Structure 1
Amino acid sequence: MSDLVLRLARPGEDARIADFINQNFDMRLPLINRADFYQFYYAHTPGAAPQFALAEQDGEILCAAGYILANQSETPDVWVSVWVAAKGHNGVGLELMDALSGLLNARVVACNNIRANTCVLYHFLGWQAERLPHYYRLGAPGAKGWQLAVPGPNSAPLPVQDDLPLTRVPDAAALAALGLPHSSHTPHKDLWYLQRRYFAYPHQRYDVWAVQEASALLAYAITRTITAAETGCIPVVRLVDFIGDDAVLPRIGGALDKLLHDAGAEYLDCYNAGIPAAVWAAAGLTERCEDDGIIIPNYLTPPLRQNTEYYYFTNQPDGFVLFKADGDQDRPNLPCD
């Protein structure tokens, strides 16, 4: 038996990788089996190698890990997406995960939405792996009362600063003209990434907002509104990404509250790791804890009136910040082709 080979995929290996994943995963994944998803996440450069790393022995794939670039630098930050090991080879899969930063010359390796029981595997590697915090701000109940959320005694909206407005960025060209704000967060998201993720995504419409003061760009906030037609009852606003320094968030609390009420939404919510709960509170959002009895539904089309807990990992926790739209998340639940 030859030595285990850990390597990046080569051009033309797409079908071989898809066959391996379909044979070794317990369901057919839309990310692999829908052409629009696969091309957007893993094969967006025609003729290039698909964005996968492989563990191979004697010509047989034992593990495949798909990854998504946050930027196009020579030392990129990446999100791991699909990760599948052949039965009996989970150890090989862990070896491949540990080797990924070296294979890609990556600075940060992270994953949004792992299974809770796999956190211990990443702890073994010395990485951070834990629950993804969830924050929310309630609107006003409609004539029918609360149709999606189940509030509690501490759910009343917190006071906010009406300091900085949000200005819509209409398209990718306008984003390029504005450039990038200062941010110490990782992963670093460059203009290439932001333009693709929020203006060229094949599904779902996003609203990109610039935060400016005296013509200086301070941050971007990205939201997505789920309409009453989609939920079947009442809108919801999602804050799915924020690029900027923590100190800017409290200053847009009033603007976020305005988005919430202008949409007639029952609540605005945000999944985030890395920004302290105190900063979110200063921006007007309350943390939902696992045992507080509050329900802020995540699945809305159709609505499922229960909480959803997400988990994540990162190999570099210093400065690390994660949002709902990072990696392969915040995508519609569509059937395979």
Structure 2
Amino acid sequence: MNQFDTRYEIRLADSSDIDLIMDFIDKYWKKGHIMSQDRDLFRYEYQDGNQINFILAIDRKTQLLEGIFGFIKCSDTKDVKKKDIWGSMWKVRETGENMPLLGIELAKRVFDITRCRTQIGNGANPNTTIPLRRLYFHDRTVRMRQYYKLNPDIEEFKIALVKKRPVILQENHSDTKIMLLNSINEVKENFNIESINSIPYKDSWYVNKRYFCHPYYHYSVYGLKNQCGKVGALMMARVIECNGSRILRMVDYMGDQRLFSGMRNTLDKIMKEMNLEYMDFYTYGFEKQYLWDAGFSYRSDDDPNIIPNYFEPFLRENVDIWAHYKLDGTMFFKADGDQDRPNKRMEKKQGGQGEL
């Protein structure tokens, strides 16, 4: 036991702690936050059997909850060499009575308690979390890159603010075919998820939970076919409707990145058929040449256009997403961790996965 254990009970939460954690989020994270209001969403994100994926610090004298560190599993593997997690809500009650660096101690304990290979963070606050991860954990910190592809047939943009259409690079002559996969069984029949040794490691359990079983959002899971006609990669996407218009967001990708370079014609067809304003793709670690080949442009600091990220509520502004990691080859996508989730209460989706 160290000095923190003398003062606090630091442990993994269980289902009996749900109300306690939700109340803490409402009082000390943000009043009315969705995770303090929607119990079903909270359980979807953090419950794993009777376990709740939060590290708690409870004062031994007062029995008050003083700090939380939430995390989300990237897979259901028991292999510690592949067991990765995303950090989530990280907060210590701001009083002068708590021990200094209690929050840092909670973040350190997650390694011992979960036995994870690595703990990754995306959507991190650049003013607080990012400098703390650099200082105390020696993490590498990066800003995710947002790429976008405008519909050339759209004259009036209602979601994006387009001041200058980017110059599209010369077309790549490869042509990747895709197929819509409507269930995790169809995915398994066509693609071996577990064979992809990515960082973070994602498995069938994760893909099923994240994209086929989400309580509110409809995702489309596509198989990208190689020259032999076999699925060599998965692409996950979500349609967003706003201001009488719609866009498509690529939120995850698994497998051979080279197949994305041949997606230009297919994506142009989808864009035209759905009358999309644009498509966008937040990522870090994805080969940029393949995105350019598919007709995407990078939203650099010098780009005069606005490609929004927030829709609940809608904010017409550019948003930088910051991330931290340790291991070489770590990749980030928009739906990783708790980034692509509702920010307000909504009706649960009906039926199965929506289709494009």
Counterpart check, 1:207 vs 2:220: yes
TM alignment of 1:38-77, pairs within 5 A: 38-45=42-49, 48-58=50-60, 59-74=63-78, 75=80, 76-77=83-84
Following the alignment from structure 2 to structure 1, what is the Cα–Cα distance between the partners of residues 157 and 64? Answer: 54
Offset at residue 153 of structure 1 (A): 4.6
Which residue is equivalent to 1:183? 196
The one-letter code matched in structure 2 to 1:21 is: I
- Give the 3-state SS of the residue equivalent to 1:13 in structure 2: helix
Following the alignment from structure 1 to structure 2, what is the Cα–Cα distance between the partners of residues 50 and 128? Answer: 28
Offset at residue 3 of structure 1 (A): 4.5
Following the alignment from structure 1 to structure 2, what is the Cα–Cα distance between the partners of residues 212 and 110? Answer: 30
Stretch moving more, 31-40 or 156-165: 156-165
The one-letter code matched in structure 1 to 2:56 is: L
**Residues 108 and 261 of structure 1, relative CA distance in 2, 3 Å threshold:** farther
Which residue is equivalent to 1:237? 248
Q: Deviations over 1:46-72 (max 9, x none)?
A: xx1211112344244332111111101
Please point out which of 282, 304, 320 is paired with 2:330. 320
Which residue is equivalent to 1:254? 265
- Give the 3-state SS of the residue equivalent to 1:50 in structure 2: strand
Following the alignment from structure 1 to structure 2, what is the Cα–Cα distance between the partners of residues 309 and 26? Answer: 21
Offset at residue 38 of structure 1 (A): 0.8
Do the aligned partners of 1:207 and 1:224 also contact (CA within 8 Å) in 2? yes
Normalised by the length of structure 1, the TM-score is 0.89
Following the alignment from structure 1 to structure 2, what is the Cα–Cα distance between the partners of residues 186 and 140? Answer: 35
The one-letter code matched in structure 1 to 2:204 is: L
Q: Deviations over 1:68-127 (max 9, x none)?
A: 111011222111122111115572112211231222011121122121102111111111
Which residue is equivalent to 1:110? 120
Which residue is equivalent to 1:84? 91
Offset at residue 282 of structure 1 (A): 2.6
**Residues 26 and 171 of structure 1, relative CA distance in 2, 3 Å threshold:** closer
Counterpart check, 1:275 vs 2:286: yes
Stretch moving more, 155-164 or 62-71: 155-164
Please point out which of 130, 142, 146 is paired with 1:134. 146
Which residue is equivalent to 1:224? 238
Do the aligned partners of 2:262 and 2:294 also contact (CA within 8 Å) in 1? yes
Please point out which of 300, 318, 335 is paired with 1:289. 300
Please point out which of 15, 24, 36 is paired with 2:19. 15
Following the alignment from structure 1 to structure 2, what is the Cα–Cα distance between the partners of residues 116 and 219? Answer: 32
Q: Deviations over 1:206-232 (max 9, x none)?
A: 111011232433100011112xxx312
Following the alignment from structure 2 to structure 1, what is the Cα–Cα distance between the partners of residues 101 and 84? Answer: 24
Offset at residue 289 of structure 1 (A): 1.4
- Give the 3-state SS of the residue equivalent to 2:238 in structure 1: strand
**Residues 8 and 161 of structure 1, relative CA distance in 2, 3 Å threshold:** farther
**Residues 306 and 20 of structure 1, relative CA distance in 2, 3 Å threshold:** closer
Stretch moving more, 262-271 or 295-304: 295-304
**Residues 254 and 186 of structure 1, relative CA distance in 2, 3 Å threshold:** farther
**Residues 100 and 222 of structure 1, relative CA distance in 2, 3 Å threshold:** same
Do the aligned partners of 2:147 and 2:280 also contact (CA within 8 Å) in 1? yes
- Give the 3-state SS of the residue equivalent to 2:16 in structure 1: coil
Please point out which of 89, 99, 105 is paired with 2:109. 99
Structure 2: gaps spanning 5 or more residues: 348-356
The one-letter code matched in structure 1 to 2:107 is: M
How many matched pairs?
330
Which residue is equivalent to 1:307? 318
Do the aligned partners of 1:69 and 1:77 also contact (CA within 8 Å) in 2? yes
Do the aligned partners of 1:160 and 1:254 also contact (CA within 8 Å) in 2? no
Following the alignment from structure 2 to structure 1, what is the Cα–Cα distance between the partners of residues 292 and 311? Answer: 25
Offset at residue 304 of structure 1 (A): 2.9
Following the alignment from structure 1 to structure 2, what is the Cα–Cα distance between the partners of residues 152 and 185? Answer: 38
Following the alignment from structure 1 to structure 2, what is the Cα–Cα distance between the partners of residues 259 and 332? Answer: 25
Cα root mean square deviation, aligned: 2.4
Structure 1: gaps spanning 5 or more residues: none
